[in-house]
Structure 1
């Protein structure tokens, strides 16, 4: 009997008699997870409804069973989520994913190279005059890039709307304890207000574009979705684009900050990237294996999505343990990516590991997730980040006064906290304007 009870729930720290493990976790999130992993193993309980996973095979098992045994589309603030409704939303999203995927693949992503470089050069200008806070600059760039990719000529105002959406989530990442949605707190009211405004704005753009004459060829992702066969409803097009906009903004921005930090600390690497990029007055080459390796290594050491959440849909198992409907499973790519069992020299930044063969078991690398809910925009994100890395090295000298001390911040999306940098334009490399088209 005692043995059966032990297999019902993974072991874990008991924490405070009233607050549980929340205070210790919020005080030092990655430190708490490291200590608990060391003491309790690859699967451990945080509280009676939450389990953490730091084993690659177990994490992949959860990701592979998403949409069947686990769900990822749950409404925020809902203490008792409607799992059936969430499963219905997941099914609708999977259908939309199959339709949108060709508009986000490698070929489609590369078609935006010229425009991406122009946007980067335009939005990097403040950093050419002096050292600036890199995160706002990176967020502005990724917001403009994804809005332009999705809405093209109708993207005006969307970067600011994306910034509002990112701002409203930050108060909720500071603490793992959340108040009920019905409490009339200012941050709750602002969250719902921005959400309504976002849905209304995107719906209006979709309807207006649908009423226009259809172009001979899609000029952006919205055109691509409006040309889909079978036709997608306005609400489905809006929801699909909203998901891509949100995922294509804050997550790549965090990665850009880490890329800037590495370039500032490694001038020899920047020189090699400059040589790979080609002439300084041109868009970097189509194939950029070193720049891509740098991006992959940044995403290994500093995965912006350093935690992934799944919720048990019905009674199921996790490794040797039982889960109940509504139990949350938190997967930790950050610790998996730095585990010496899977990686040689795991804490060392070494892009060459991606150029010389298989760096680690496939299951030990999860920057975009895995399984049926792997990030739908992964190809687009990789292309934009690779091109950004190459262009930064090609067109600028990156310098930072605090690159060494700008430690990762484990709140929301993982990025160096407070990184400041200056981008001095390289000689004989005039930056482009914001012109060009996709």
Structure 2
């Protein structure tokens, strides 16, 4: 047993091969059986790292005598969360985050799979870097880490990366991270190339020229603070171009982040036309707005910037309806030296792996979202888009599971977070929903105190 801060890691092969049952739980997840038992209590039986059974029949009286039994006391048991946008620091930015620290934070927050951004130092544009990430994740990671690789060499937006070789090395998707590709011809070629390999293209939509030196959402609030703004159109113009290229090439396209009603209109048209287009929203844009910046709070300086409250509500409604597919943490650790600066000079970004679930539960508590839909957007939909077997409570699926009490209150203490950086937008916020147990492949990788 290896102990971490507020967690326990277990690697005993005897425990791994012993059947494990989580009983007396409220099961929430995208199982084909869910309609039969979602209103009551049930359990999950895990054998050899896979879900052997799930539902009301998994109870202590029906289990084999040698099974290890954990009584969940009515807590929620769901698939582990899958985060499609997180910066893990390696290689080259270990002062901000490492795979060890990022996956420790993920395990504590109920995230069992991370899609790592490719904009590292060097970027993930060669097969050797993909191999490095996979080996580091295997050796130091607590949860699954899937690399995404660069769409263009050096993330420069000029020459297409070797998508075929990178995919063969283990890259799960292709993106230039926080870099938006200016040249439509380059992006068209990249998407055509990706289509030939049935690879997923993830693109961050922003017209950098139109965004200019903007540091927050353009509007009255930015004017009152004396800060330059980023217009909503900077996102929408590029997203509209991207969707048209998806129609032209037939590539699978995923918008890394959508934050405005203009973008929602574009996504709605694309889906109505039957295009292979999906999108994500960050937990920050779902639960915060530009007013939360208050007195120049740099931990809330994000890219894209936080929008108005009416935009936030439209994002939540789009998520509830299924127009928005996925919720991401947009985990982007920044150290003190780059955040404790005047707002306009501070780096963009906030950490989010450890608080994504709790922040999302705010929407459930307010009645804006159902718990089933919240969990689906953090588990099944990203699994479907990335074509992963986890993210569901189906028999035969990997036993990547979490147990949490959606109503247990706590206050976010940055000092207790596992990330190397502490730039959380929820500093000292009152939250509900503590993760008590995280399993990856049937092994306990986090157990709350």
TM-score computed with the length of structure 1 as normaliser: 0.30
Higher Rg: 1
Structure 1 or 2: larger helix share? Answer: 1
Higher relative contact order (CA 8 A, sep 6+): 1
More strand by share: 2
